[in-house]
Amino acid sequence: MYVPRYKEKYDKEVVPALKEQFGFHSPMRVPRLTKICLNQGLGKFGIADKKLIEIGVQEMTLVAGQKAVATKSKKDISNFKLRRGMPIGVRVTLRGERMYEFLDRLISVSIPR
């Protein structure tokens, strides 16, 4: 079974170092990542063009490696010509192995030192 590179590094190097530094007796007390949430608001352009929401979903799916979901408005806002239930953005929540893989790609490729 494949274990992501950053998860392995976290388990073997980071957890023991944090246990020693803060005096934790149990490895369960050490802070850890539970999820990474990505979102993209499409603003007034998303309201005017429904095709833009589909493009946003496709882009976010490519970035995250997991199917994105269109978010819908919760309230009516007349000044923005926005009605309840209209799609206004896109979101993805990553957990587990996909989360660590995304974090690895983000740190290694997108945000190099």
What is the arithmetic mean of pLDDT over 78-87? 66
Instruction: Give the highest mean pLDDT range of 6-10, 41-45, 47-51, 107-111.
Output: 6-10
pLDDT reported for residue 76: 64
| Distance from C-alpha of 104 to C-alpha of 113, rounded to nearest angstrom | 13
Per-residue DSSP letters for 23-89? T-SSGGGS-----EEEEEE-HHHHHH-HHHHHHHHHHHHHHHSS--EEEE-SS-BGGGTB-TT-EEE
Q: What's this model's pTM, rounded to 2 decimal places?
A: 0.77
Residues 6+ apart with CB under 8 A from 69: 57, 90, 91, 92
Position 92 pLDDT exceeds 70: yes
